[in-house]
């Protein structure tokens, strides 16, 4: 059975509008390819992919996540299933914050301008992977 202390902690995490202890108000700078992480959860993720239309996914539909150093994949499952695959370098922090529902948007770089340690997104693919289609 949950204690009142654990219930209060859960309530604090779910309703937090200020950073957690040790986090800055601005969040970590992830470079020009991703928004700064929010101290609270976002409802969805906007994907800016060059000249293609902006696509948005609801975090509540996040069903699957996979990471490798040069690529990460998310499956969003609503009435259709969408596979979002992002490639680049130094992607762990972007992947981790998306998996925590704390990134508002990501953007494919129009050129490779990043330093050795800075995250950069060099490719984004979105594919309808609904079974039976």
Mean pLDDT by 10 residues, the chain (133 residues): 63 56 62 87 94 96 96 97 96 95 94 79 96 84
Kindly state whether residue 99 falls inside one of the protein's structural domains.
Answer: yes
Kindly state whether residue 133 falls inside one of the protein's structural domains.
Answer: no
Distances (CA, A) of 52 to 68, 72, 97, 98: 25, 20, 24, 21
The Cα–Cα gap between 35 and 40 comes to: 13
DSSP H helices in the chain:
4-15, 92-99
Residues 6+ apart with CB under 8 A from 25: 18, 19, 39
Strands 105-107, 120-128: pairing kind = unpaired
- Our count of domains for the chain comes to 1
Kindly state whether residue 76 falls inside one of the protein's structural domains.
Answer: yes
What's the whole-model pTM score? Answer: 0.77
């Amino acid at each position: 059975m949950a204690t009142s202390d654990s219930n209060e902690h859960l309530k604090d995490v779910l309703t937090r509008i200020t950073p957690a202890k040790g986090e800055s108000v601005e969040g970590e700078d992830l470079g020009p390819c991703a928004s700064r992480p929010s101290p609270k959860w976002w409802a969805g993720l906007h994907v800016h992919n060059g000249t293609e239309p902006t696509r948005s996914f609801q975090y509540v539909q996040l069903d699957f996540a996979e990471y490798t150093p040069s690529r990460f994949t998310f499956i969003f499952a609503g009435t259709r299933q969408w596979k979002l695959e992002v490639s680049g370098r130094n992607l762990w922090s972007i992947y981790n914050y998306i998996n925590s529902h704390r990134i508002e948007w990501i953007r494919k770089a129009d050129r490779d301008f990043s330093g050795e340690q800075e995250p950069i997104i060099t490719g984004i693919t979105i594919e309808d992977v609904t079974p039976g289609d």
